Amino acid sequence: MQSKEQYLNLYRECRELITRHSSDVMNAQRDAAYAELQRMGLPTKRDEDYKYTDVEAAKGHSLEVTDKKAPTCTEKGCAEYWRCTGCGCGC
């Protein structure tokens, strides 16, 4: 089995679990990326976007999971989510 098919199969198998614990915005982006992978396959060194991807831009960013927090009578709860320790953005 090729890498592309492995990624597609893994997503198909786990899609329900992933989407259940994620926002509609992220799910839409993920589904669009899945469709694009089906259409185009994995990038190679011949693809412009891949060839000139700035991997240096990712330096200083690392993700950590923020645990689920149950709501109380004084505070709102939140679902488990990922947060960047470098810039603080979360998804």
Provide the 3-class DSSP secondary structure of residue 84: strand
Amino acid 49: pLDDT: 66
Token pair for 10: 């893994």
What is the domain partition of the chain in residue ranges? Answer: 1-44, 57-91
The pLDDT assigned to 51 comes to 65
Q: Which two tokens stand for residue 71?
A: 């709501």
Opening angle at CA 89, ends 87 and 91, nearest 5: 150
How do the pLDDT tens digits run along the chain, 91 residues long? 588 889 899 999 999 999 998 899 999 999 999 999 999 888 777 776 666 766 666 677 777 888 888 989 998 888 888 888 777 776 6
Would you tell me how many other CB atoms lie within 10 Å of the CB of residue 78?
Answer: 13
